[in-house]
Chain A
Amino acid sequence: MSRITVIVDGVSYTDEVEPRTLLVHYLRETVGKTGTVVGCDTSNCGACTVHLDGTSVKSCNVLAVQADGHEVTTIEGLSENGELHPVQKAFHECHALQCGYCTPGMIMQACDVLKNNPNPSEQEIREGLEGNLCRCTGYHNIVKAVQQAAGELSSQAVSS
Chain B
Amino acid sequence: MTITDDRTDTAAPELEIGKARRRKEDQRLITGRTRWTDNIQLPGMLHLAMVRSPFAHATITAIDTSEAKAAPGVIDVVTGADIKDVQGVNANAWPITPDQVTPTHLPVAVERVACAGEIVAVVVARSAAAARDAAELVDVDYDELPAVLDLKEAAADTVLAHPDLGTNKSAFWKLDSAEAGTGGDVDAAIAKARADGVVIEREFRQQRLIPAFMEPRSVVVDPTGEQMVVWSATQIPHILRFLISATMGIPESKVRVIAPDVGGGFGGKLQTTPEEFATIAVARRLGKPCKYTETRSESLLSGHHGRDQWQKLTLSAEKDGTVTGFKVELLADMGAYVAIVGGGVPVLGAWMFNSIYKFPAYQFNCQTVLTNKTWVDAYRGAGRPEATFGIERMMDELAAELGRDPLEVREQNWITHEEFPFTTVAGMTYDSGNYEAATARAKELFGYDELRAEQQRRRESNDPVQLGIGVSTFTEMCGLAPSRILGQLSYGAGGWEHASIRMLATGKVEVVTGVSPHGQGHETAWSQIVADRLGVPFEDVEVLHGDTQTSPRGLDTYGSRSLVVGAEAVVRAADKVIDKAKVFAAHLLEASEDDLEFKAGRFGVKGTDKGIGIAEIALATFTAHNLPDGAEPSIDADATFDPDNFSFPHGTHLCAMEVDTETGATTMRKYVCVDDIGTIINPLIVEGQVHGGLVQGIAQALWEGAEYDEQGTLVTGSFVDYTLPTAADTISFITDHTTSPSTTNTLGTKGVGEAGTIASTPAVVNAIIDAVRPLGVDDIVMPCTPERVWKAIQAGQAVSHEGERAAAPHFDEATPNQDPGAGSPSTTTEGSDQ
Contacts and interface: CB of A to CB of B under 8 A. Distances in A.
A143 B729 CA distance: 13
Nearest to B517: A99
Contact of A135 (B25, B214, B689): B214
A150 interface: no
Contact of A126 (B521, B724, B728): B728
A130 B520 contact: no
A160 B29 CA distance: 29
Q: Max chain B CB contacts within 10 Å: which of A18, A33, A103, A136?
A: A136
Given A41-B295, A126-B728, A129-B727, A138 B32 contact: no
A139 B727 contact: yes
Nearest to A142: B727
B196 to A, nearest CB: 46
Contact of A95 (B22, B266, B719): B22
A101 B26 contact: no
Interface string A108-131: 000000000000001001110111
Contacts of A136: 214, 264, 519, 688, 692
Contact-residue bracket for chain B? 35 or more
Contact of A98 (B33, B129, B519): B519
Contact of A97 (B30, B295, B696, B728): B30
B727 A98 contact: no
A107 B32 CA distance: 11
Contacts of A59: none
A39 B218 CA distance: 12
B687 A44 contact: no
Interface string B700-728: 00000000000000000011100011111
A140 B733 contact: yes
Contacts of A107: 30
B216 interface: yes
A132 interface: yes
A126 B731 CA distance: 9
Given A130-B726, A135-B724, A103 B30 contact: yes
Nearest to B296: A40
Given A99-B213, A141-B688, A37 B730 contact: no
A17 to B, nearest CB: 11
Contacts of B689: 98
A88 interface: yes
Given A42-B720, A133-B724, A75 B31 contact: yes
Contact of A45 (B30, B296, B696, B733): B296
Contacts of B687: 95, 140-141
B688 A98 contact: yes
Given A125-B727, A129-B726, A137 B688 contact: yes
A95 B689 CA distance: 10
Nearest to B27: A92
B730 A101 contact: no
Interface string A46-85: 0100000000000000000000000000111011000010
B720 A44 contact: yes
Nearest to B720: A42
B519 A42 contact: no
Contact of A138 (B296, B520, B733): B733
A84 B296 CA distance: 31
B658 to A, nearest CB: 16
**Chain A's interface: helix, strand, loop or mixed, by majority?**
loop
Interface string B501-531: 0000000000000000011110000000000
A99 B724 contact: no
A93 B728 contact: no
Nearest to B35: A34
B437 interface: no
Interface string A20-40: 000001001000011111111
Given A34-B36, A39-B214, A95-B684, A138 B30 contact: no
Contact of B520 (A35, A45, A98, A141): A98
B255 to A, nearest CB: 25
Interface residues of A, number: 56
Interface in B1-52: 22-23, 25-34, 36, 38-39
Nearest to A18: B129
Nearest to A123: B728
Interface in B184-242: 212-216
B297 interface: yes
Interface string B680-695: 0000110111011111
B692 A37 contact: no
Nearest to B215: A101
B396 interface: no
B732 interface: yes
A140 B295 CA distance: 28
Nearest to B39: A34
Given A40-B718, A76-B33, A93 B22 contact: yes
A39 B296 contact: yes
Contacts of B719: 40, 42, 44-45, 133
B263 A101 contact: yes
Contacts of A36: 32
B462 to A, nearest CB: 29
A35 B720 CA distance: 25
B76 interface: no
Contacts of A44: 718-720
Given A41-B296, A45-B214, A129-B727, A100 B695 contact: no
Contacts of A45: 214, 296, 719
Given A34-B36, A40-B296, A133 B30 contact: no
Contacts of B694: 138
Interface in B599-616: none
B732 A143 contact: yes
B692 A137 contact: yes
A142 B25 CA distance: 16
B728 A99 contact: no
B685 A35 contact: no
A103 B692 CA distance: 14
Nearest to A87: B30
Contacts of A93: 22
A121 to B, nearest CB: 12
A8 interface: no
B31 A88 contact: yes
A89 to B, nearest CB: 8
A90 B33 CA distance: 18
B176 interface: no
Q: Max chain B CB contacts within 10 Å: which of A37, A93, A95, A132?
A: A95
A88 to B, nearest CB: 5
A134 interface: yes
Interface in B322-339: none
A42 B717 CA distance: 11
Nearest to B23: A95
A133 to B, nearest CB: 5
B262 interface: yes
Q: Max chain A CB contacts within 10 Å: which of B262, B688, B718?
A: B688
B261 interface: yes
A102 interface: yes
14 contacts: A35-B33, A37-B34, A37-B263, A45-B296, A91-B30, A95-B684, A95-B687, A99-B263, A130-B726, A133-B214, A135-B724, A137-B692, A139-B695, A141-B687
Given A40-B296, A101-B263, 17 more contacts: A39-B216, A41-B718, A42-B720, A84-B31, A88-B30, A95-B22, A99-B213, A99-B264, A100-B34, A100-B519, A104-B32, A126-B728, A138-B691, A138-B693, A138-B696, A139-B730, A142-B727
Closest 7 interchain pairs by CB? Answer: A35-B32, A100-B29, A101-B263, A99-B519, A138-B695, A44-B719, A138-B691
